[in-house]
Amino acid sequence: MSDIASLGDLRGKRVLVRSDLNVPLEQSGGTTTITDDGRIRASVPTIRQLADAGARVIVLAHLGRPKGAPDPAYTLEPVARRLGELLGKDVAFATDTVGESASETVAGLQDGDVAVLENVRFNEGETAKEDEIRSAFASQLAQLGDAFVSDGFGVVHRKQASVYDIALRLPAAMGDLVSTEVDVLRRLTEEPQRPYVVVLGGSKVSDKLGVIDNLLQKADKLLIGGGMVFTFLAAQGYEVGKSLLEEDQVETCRAYLEQAKERGVELLLPTDVVVDTVFPSGDREPQPSVVPASEIPADAIGLDIGPDSAAAFADALSDARTVFWNGPMGVFETEEFAAGTRAVAEALTQVDGLSVVGGGDSAAAVRTLGIDEDAFGHISTGGGASLEYLEGKELPGIAVLERNIHG
């Protein structure tokens, strides 16, 4: 595995580092505020490590989903400023990615300096499906540096110019953020300590089929809640009222229930559910009530697992040595429907072993519910990337480094 040390002495070298600085922004009255700078904070250690080693650090990153052309709504400028504050040093900002501003900014760097280039997705080459278009952009990027460090875990499952193609063109290494994530994911897939419990929730079962498929082969227990659970309850023959239901996945869920039985995997579904007659919004005070999972009224929407189920889930987690949790148990954004998610999150903090939280909304739930982040073994910075890894898919941004063509 090629880590930063494999790049040798970095003093005076121009090092391009791909970070994940894709933070949520709020625009109001002409000012932009970063509502959660977690990803910038997570990117600081590698950038600092490179600068401390005397490299001229050039940060590549994206923000949002601009359409392959400059769009002021998605400028990285405020992000670069915040990075400077966190690093405690001046950070130069280039107003383009491979244009004049970038060349001048890079040329002006001294050893140990840091620059951020404008949003890589302002160039259509970043996300192009066609290899030639991506390659051309990657070659331009590669001219700005002497080495490449991949540290944006949230994007390693993307075959994009600043993630994948660039690593074919420069001596390339994995940053510590990415290698930590990969180590944890390995521990979840290769000889996990048992009992191994997987908790899945979130909105749609169709997003998570691949993970369920793969983890049914590996886990001892599978606990299911969140919006996806109603498709499982329907597969069990229950009525689910107006709850989230993916009709076209009912058969698949039935097959999973069968498979779990055959493999001796304990598959736990909630026995009670918190319901309301409307989806929570600002318009009306929530009116939660608890019903048995087998008796959801026709006009009810299931919005959380009930208290009995929350206790049963916590109990099922109590002897676990390895836990992977993805997806909130309910609509945790509304306090009345947050108890199931809170119970699972708190149970994870008590695990004697490795507890991993994957998924953007699950990580956000931990933070908004005020649960100590340090009490978890690991909170992944990349939801999509960790799910794809656990599905058994190859992550292009990792594979390209492991092939280590320049090493």
d(CA 235, CA 364): 30
Reply yes or no on whether 48 is catalytic: no
| Residue at shortest CB range from Mg ion | 361
By the criterion CB under 6 A, which residues form the site for ligand ADP?
201-203, 207, 226-227, 244, 302-303, 326-328, 330-331, 333, 359-362, 383
Contact 268, 221 (CB under 8 A): yes
Least distance in angstroms from the C-beta of 373 to ligand ADP: 15
Binding site for Mg ion (CB under 5 A): 360-361
Whether 237 is catalytic: no
CB of 325 to ligand ADP, least distance (A): 9
Sheet holding 14-18, edge to edge: 91-94, 114-117, 56-60, 14-18, 147-150, 172-174
The interface partner of residue 382, options being Mg ion, ligand ADP, none and the CB cut-off 5 to 8 Å by kind, is none
* C-alpha to C-alpha distance for 186 and 395, rounded to whole angstroms: 13
CB atoms under 10 Å from CB of 323, counted, come to 27
Question: Active-site residue among 54, 99, 112, 360?
Answer: 360
Nearer to ligand ADP, 151 or 207 (CB): 207
Q: Which does 192 bind (CB under 5 to 8 A by kind): ligand ADP, Mg ion, none?
A: none
**Residue 207 touches which member of ligand ADP, Mg ion, none, C-beta under 5-8 Å by kind:** ligand ADP
Judge whether 89 counts as a catalytic residue: no
Catalytic-labelled residue, pool 204, 254, 263, 321: 204
Nearer of residues 20 and 361 to Mg ion, judged by Cβ: 361
Listed in order, strand segments (DSSP E) in 6-55 are: 14-18, 25-28, 31-34
Q: How far apart (Å, rounded) are the C-alpha atoms in residues 219 and 265? A: 7
At 205 the three-state DSSP class reads: helix
Report the nearest approach of Mg ion to the CB of residue 14 (Å).
36
> What whole-number distance in Å separates Cα of residue 273 and Cα of residue 139?
54
The SS3 call for residue 358 is strand
Smallest gap, in angstroms, from Cβ of residue 276 to ligand ADP? 10
Residue 272 binds: one of Mg ion, ligand ADP, none (C-beta under 5 to 8 A by kind): none
Q: Which residues pair with 221 in a beta bridge?
A: 197, 266
User: CB 364 → Mg ion: shortest distance, Å?
Assistant: 8
For residue 396, the partner it binds in Mg ion, ligand ADP, none, with Cβ less than 5 to 8 A by kind, is none
Instruction: Please tell me which residue in 13, 14, 39, 342 is annotated as part of the active site.
Output: 39
**Residue 67 falls in the annotated catalytic set:** no
User: What is the DSSP secondary structure assignment for residue 260, as one 8-state letter?
Assistant: H
Nearest residue (CB) to Mg ion, 113 versus 361: 361
Least Cα distance to 348 among 306, 320, 382 occurs for 320
Q: Counting every residue, how long is the chain?
A: 407
CB-nearer residue toward ligand ADP: 125 or 328: 328
Three-state SS at 76: coil
Q: So which residues are the catalytic ones?
A: 39, 204, 360, 384
